[in-house]
Amino acid sequence: MSAAEHSSKGVENAIVRQAEFPIGIDLYPLDEERRGWADWYDRDMEPEFSALADARVWLVRIFVSWKYFEPQVGQYDEDAAGRLDAILDMASAHDMKVLVSLFADDRLAEMTDVPWGKRRDPRTDDYLIQREISLAQRVVNRYRAHPVVWGWELANEAFCTGFKSESDLERWTTMLRDAIREVDVERPVLLGVDPETLFRTTGVDARGAIDMNEYAVSHLTAPYRVYAAEGPVTSGPATYLEGFLLRAAARDLPVLVDGVGVQSLDFSLAEEAASIRTSLYSALMNGASGVMVRRYRDLETEKREPYFRDPFEVLVGVADVEGEVKPSLGEIKRFARVAARVDRRRYQPAPERVAVLMPAERYEPLPSLAGLYGPRACLQAYIGAKEAHLPVDVVREGDELGAHHALIIPSAMKLSPGTWSEVAAFVQGGGSVVMSYGGGDTDPAVREIFGIEFLGDHGVRRTVSCRVAQPGVLGELCSFDARLELPHFALLGHGGATIVATDATGSPLLTVNQYGQGKAVYIAAPLERALAQGDPWAAPAAVRDLLRTVYGSVARAAGAGPIVDCDTPEVEVAVFMGEEDDLVIALNHSPEAVTAMLSVERVVASVADARGGIPADVGGKTFGVPLASNGAAALRLSYS
Amino acid sequence: MTARSSQVLMAEGLARSEQVPAAVEACYDALAVNDAEPFAHCLLAHLLLEGDFYDEAIAEATRAIELDPDCSPAYLALGLAYDRRGGMWDQSVLVWHELAEVVPDLVTAHVQLGEAFGAAQFEEEAIDSWKRALELDPKEARALYNLAIAALKREGMATALPGFRKAGELDPSQDDLFFALLGIRSVPDRVVDPAKVREDRDSRLGAAALAARADDLFVTAELVRMVLDEDPDDADALALAAFTYLKQEAANEAMACALRAVAIKPDLATALYTLGVVYSRRAGLSKHAARVFIAFTKAASQHALAHVLLAESLLGLQRYSQSKKAYRVAIRLDPACVRARFGLAAVHLTEGLHAEADWEVRRAAYYDTRRQGLFWRLYDEYAEGGAS
C-alpha cells in the first residue's frame, strides 16, 4: 500500500476513531513459542497493522526488550533501535499511536532478563535500577518528538508481580517516572497494574504508586477471574467483573481497561467474540478512558508431550496462529464505530450516585478471611445494583463519600471508627445506606444508625426465609424460602427501626431506620457473601430479587435511581446525556436473546442507532430493544 | 496412629463442625507452634478449598505434601484445587495420578484423573481412567456421565443417550424422590410387620410405603393388595403398586397400574412419576414420557429431580432448548444436582457452548466429590496411619 493510500485510509478511519477513547491492542514481540529472545519483533508486521487499521484500532502497545536493547552493560544494540523505529514508522503510516511499555514480562521473550544482571532483582537492586533509568531515558529521548508515541508504560503487571512491598514499588515507580519526566513532560506515564488484582496476587497495595502517574489501569487477570467469578465468561458474574474492577481502579485518574479478551484456548470463536464484546461495552459504559485488547495473534505454542497447553494468559489473540482474523476483530471494529459516536465533549455519562463500599478489611492477610470474602461480596453487591439499573460506583473505605447519595456496605465484618463516623454523617446529611451483617459482634454505631439491638449471631443456616411484614416500604418484596447457605444470621432486637421483613421465626431480616435526614437499611444476614460463596450461576432468584429490590428502592428514595429504567435485570444500561439528545447503551449479560423494555421520564420522539441510520418514531416513554445473546445496542434518543 | 498437636485437634474439631473462620485461626495457631505440621497445612488447604480460595489452598496442600509425601488428604485437596482453579491441567493430572497410586481403590481419584485428562484434551486417556473407575465400582454414575459426554463430543447425541439413561438409572436419588412425594425422608430403622399394621386404608398404605422404602417389596405388595381388595380404584395404592412393579422390572404391569391411577387422579404425583419413568424406559414412548413429566413437574414443582426427568425426556426428543430450561430450573432448585449438571453440559455441547459445558461438568464434579466427604475419610485414614 502506498503512502497516499495509507493517508486516505487514515482520513476515512479518523471519522470512526475516537482519540479520547483509544481502542488498542498488544503486539507481542514473539508469536511463536519456539522462537528466542533475539527474535524480538523480527517479523513482517505490515499485515497486523493493516488488519488493525481496518478494524479502526487506534493504539498498539509494544514492549521494549531490555535484554535485546542492552546486551552488554552500557552498550546498546542499534538493530534493536532500528526495529523499534520501523514499528513506529509503520504505526505512523497507518495513522495509529503507540504505547511503549518499557519493562514488561511476557513470560516468553525474556525482555527484562539481562544476562549481566547476575540474577539480581531489577526491581530493587540500585545498580540495575540505574541501568533501567538509562535505558528508559535513551528510548524516551529518541522518540520524544515522534508524534506516534501516545504514552509510556513503566511496567506491566507481570513484571510488577515481582515486587515484595509497597515501598519498593513506589520507589521504583518514582525513580523511573522522574527519569522519563526529565526527558518528556508531555506524554502520559502509566504503571500497567490493577490495584485489586495485583494485591490479590502479591499482597502489595499499588495504589500509592499508581497515583504518581497520569493513567490508572484496570486489568482482569486469569487468577483473579477464577478467584472472583469462576465459571463461563459469557454469562453470570464473570461478565460484570471487568466493570467492577474498572470502577475499583478509578482513583481520580482516567482508567485504561487492559487485557481485554479470553484467557485460555478453552473457548469457541463465538465465545471469544461474545466475551470481547461484553468487555468492550462494559468498559465504555463504566467510564473507561480506553481499552487494550490482550494480543493480536494467538501464541503458537510448542506441542510438547504430554501437555501442550500454555497456562499463560497472553495466549489468545484476535487472529489465529496463521494470522487469519477471528470474529473478535469484527467485534472490535463494530465497537469502534459505537465508541467514536460517544463524544465526551458532547455527551456526559450519568453521574454515579450509588456506591458499593469495599471495606479496608479487604487488605487483611490470613488468618482473617475478610480479605478473601470482601471483594467477592462487593462484586455481588455491584451486580445487584447493576441489575437494579443503578448508576453505581465502587469506593474503598477511606474514600470520599460526599458525591454519592446511597451507599451499599455488603457483608462487612468490621469498619474503622472513622468510617462509622463518616457513615453516620453521610446518613444524617440525607444519604441512604444499605448494610448487611457480616458476622461477629457489631459496632455500637449500628445501634445508633440502624436503630437495632444486636443480640448475637445465630450461626449457619441452610435456608433464607423472608416474610414481608411491611409491604411497599422497601419496594415490592415477596415472601419466600430459598435454599442458600448463610454463614451468619444476626439476631436483632428492637431499637427503633421499622421491621420490614422477618425470617420464618419472626426474627428481623430487613429493617429500615430514619436517621437524621437519611435512611439506614440493615439486612440481618450476609446475603452478598452467601451468594458469592454459594454458586453464583445458580443463585436463588428470590434472594437476588430481594437484594435488587432493596438496593433499587433505597437508591430511588435517595434520588439516586436509574435515569433509564429497564425491565430485564440481566441487561445493563448506561446513559450518556447530551444537550439535545441522549445516548443509551444496553448490554445483555445473558447468553439468551431478550427484548428489554426501557423506560425514561420524558417522552421519546424517536430512537436511532447511535452509529447512524433511520430514526424510529416512539412517541412514548417506553420502548423495546431486542438484544441478541451477549448483545449490545447503542441508541440515540431524541425527545419531544 | 500419627500424633497430632492439641492445636491441630482443636482446628480439626472446628473444621468438622464447619466453623471455617475459627478453624482457620486454629490452624494458624498450630502453625505458630510448629510450621512443619502437615496436618495443619492439610486442614488449612481443605478449609480454603471449601471457601473456593484455590490459590491459597494450592499453596497449603503443596506445603503439606512437601512435609509428608504420603499425605493423601493433601493430594485430594491439591487436585481439587487445581481442577477448580482451571488452567493447570498438567499439574492436576500428576496429582490425581499420584493419589490413585497412594490410594488405589479410591474410585474418585480415577474419575477426577479422567476429568483432568479430558480438560487437557487427552480423550483416550480420560476414557481409560473412567473405565478403570467403573471396574472398581460399576455403579459410579459420574464416570458413566463423563463417558456419555465423551461419546457426545465424538459421535453425537444418539450414541451418548444410552449412557445418560444408564447413569440416570443408577441414581439412587430417584427413589428418594418417589418417597419424598410420600413424605418419607429416610429408610425406616424397623422392619414393617404386616400382622401388626392397623386394618385401615391409611395405615396399610403408610406401612406399605415404609416397607417399599426398606426394599421389602413382598410386604409392600401384600399391604397394597389388601387396600386394593377393598377399593380397586384407590389411586394412591395403584401408584404404589406401579412403583413396586417398576422395582421388579415388570414394566407392563407398572404401566397398567400407573395408567389406571392417573386415570383416577390425573394430578397424583406418585402415579405421574411412575408412569413417566416407565414410558422413558420403553423405546418409542419418549413423547409420552415428556408429556407425563410435564404434568409431573407441575405436581412436584419444588423437586429438582422432577425437572431433571422432564429435561432428560426432552433431551431424548432432541428438544434442546426446552431441555435446557428444565435443567436450569432443576439447578436453581438444587445446585448440587450432579445429574442436572451433566445433562445441561450435554445440551450446551449441542449448542457449541463449550465453556459453559465444561463449567457444568466441573461443577458436577465439585458437588459430587464434596457430597462424598472424601477429605475426612482420607484424613482419618492418614491420621490412623492407614492408607499412607
ipTM score assigned to the predicted complex: 0.86
Overall residue count recorded for chain B in this entry:
388
Kindly write down the DSSP assignment for every residue of A187-212, as one continuous string.
S-EEEE--HHHHHHHHS---HHHHTT
Nearest CA to A194 among A233, A173, A221? A221
Question: Does residue A244 have a pLDDT over 50?
Answer: yes
Extract the C-alpha cell encoding B282. Answer: 420403553
For residue A307, give how far its alpha carbon lies from the nearest alpha carbon of chain B (Å): 6
pTM comes to 0.91
Yes or no, beta carbons of B121 and A309 under 8 Å apart: yes
Q: State which amino acid sits at residue A443.
A: D
Question: Does residue B77 have a pLDDT over 60?
Answer: yes
Per residue in B201-220, pLDDT (tens digit) is 999 999 999 999 998 999 99
CA distance B241 to B249: 12
CA distance A271 to A235: 10
A460 touching chain B per CB within 8 A: yes
Mean pLDDT of B113-141: 91
Question: Which pLDDT score, from 0 to 100, does residue A314 have?
Answer: 64
Mean pLDDT of A299-320: 69
Choose among B53, B331, B355: nearest Cβ to A266. Answer: B355
For residue A84, give how far its alpha carbon lies from the nearest alpha carbon of chain B (Å): 34
Residue B104 burial by Cβ neighbours in a 10 Å radius (0-12, 13-18, 19+): exposed
Please give the share of chain A, as a percent, with pLDDT higher than 90.
85
Residue A456 burial by Cβ neighbours in a 10 Å radius (0-12, 13-18, 19+): exposed
Question: Which pLDDT score, from 0 to 100, does residue A613 have?
Answer: 82
Which sign, positive or negative, has the C-alpha torsion A457, A460, A465, A466?
A: positive
> Looking at chain B, which residue has its C-alpha nearest residue A308?
B120
Question: Does residue B170 have a pLDDT over 50?
Answer: yes
At A411, is the secondary structure helix, strand, or coil? strand
Question: Which pLDDT score, from 0 to 100, does residue A60 have?
Answer: 97
At A503, is the secondary structure helix, strand, or coil? coil
Which residues of A528-615 form beta strands (DSSP E)? 565-566, 571-577, 581-588, 594-609
- Residues in chain B closer than 8 A to A227 (CB atoms): 53-55
B331 touching chain A per CB within 8 A: yes
Nearest CA to A554 among A348, A374, A381? A381
Question: Which pLDDT score, from 0 to 100, does residue B196 have?
Answer: 86
B296 touching chain A per CB within 8 A: no
Yes or no, beta carbons of B359 and A232 under 8 Å apart: yes
Per residue in A353-393, pLDDT (tens digit) is 999 999 999 999 999 999 999 999 999 999 999 999 999 99
* Count of C-beta atoms within a 10 Å radius of residue A400: 9
Q: What residues contact B372, with CB distance under 8 A and at least 6 apart?
A: B108
Nearest CA to A519 among A417, A408, A444? A408
* DSSP summary character for residue A219: E
* Span of A422-431, A527-536, B183-192, B365-374 with lowest mean pLDDT: B183-192
Choose among B21, B55, B120: nearest Cβ to A369. Answer: B21
Which sign, positive or negative, has the C-alpha torsion B84, B88, B93, B99?
A: negative
Q: What residues contact B102, with CB distance under 8 A and at least 6 apart?
A: B70, B72, B75, B387, B388
Mean pLDDT of A431-452: 96
What average pLDDT is seen over chain A?
92
Which residues of A84-223 form beta strands (DSSP E)? 97-103, 149-156, 189-192, 216-219
* Count of C-beta atoms within a 10 Å radius of residue A639: 14
Question: Does residue A16 have a pLDDT over 60?
Answer: no
Mean pLDDT of A119-139: 96
CA distance B72 to B379: 7
Extract the C-alpha cell encoding B246. Answer: 417398576
Give the pLDDT band (50/70/90) at residue A557.
very high
Question: Does residue B384 have a pLDDT over 70?
Answer: yes
CA distance A538 to B29: 36
Question: Which pLDDT score, from 0 to 100, does residue A11 have?
Answer: 39
Extract the C-alpha cell encoding A382. Answer: 455491584
Mean pLDDT of A443-470: 95
* Span of A185-199, A505-519, A525-539 with lowest mean pLDDT: A525-539
Yes or no, beta carbons of A533 and B122 under 8 Å apart: no
* Span of A132-136, A434-438, B168-172, B313-317 with lowest mean pLDDT: B168-172
A309 touching chain B per CB within 8 A: yes
A457 touching chain B per CB within 8 A: no
At B377, is the secondary structure helix, strand, or coil? helix
Mutation site for B-interface testing, chosen from A200, A537, A590 by largest number of B Cβ within 10 Å: A537
Q: What residues contact A212, with CB distance under 8 A and at least 6 apart?
A: A170, A173, A174, A177, A191
Mean pLDDT of A401-430: 95
- Residues in chain B closer than 8 A to A439 (CB atoms): 21
Contacts of B40-44 spanning 24+ positions with Cβ under 8 A: B40/B5, B40/B7, B40/B8, B40/B11, B41/B67, B41/B74, B42/B71, B42/B73, B42/B74, B42/B77, B42/B379, B42/B382, B43/B8, B43/B11, B43/B12, B43/B15, B43/B379
Mean pLDDT of B307-312: 96
Residue A633 forms beta bridges with which residues? A586
Q: State which amino acid sits at residue B87.
A: G
- Residues in chain A closer than 8 A to B354 (CB atoms): 266-268, 271
CA distance A445 to B80: 42
For residue A507, give how far its alpha carbon lies from the nearest alpha carbon of chain B (Å): 23
A–B CB contacts, 8 A cutoff, strictly below: 90
Extract the C-alpha cell encoding A584. Answer: 443509551
> Looking at chain B, which residue has its C-alpha nearest residue A309?
B120
Question: Which pLDDT score, from 0 to 100, does residue B197 have?
Answer: 87
What average pLDDT is seen over chain B?
91
Question: Does residue B342 have a pLDDT over 70?
Answer: yes
Yes or no, beta carbons of B20 and A267 under 8 Å apart: no
Q: What residues contact B179, with CB distance under 8 A and at least 6 apart?
A: B185, B209, B212, B213
Contact A247, A399 (CB under 8 A): no
- Residues in chain A closer than 8 A to B55 (CB atoms): 223, 227
At A61, is the secondary structure helix, strand, or coil? strand
Beta strands A290-293 and A255-260 are parallel
What are the backbone dihedrals phi and psi of residue B258, each rounded to the nearest 5 degrees, phi first?
-65, -40
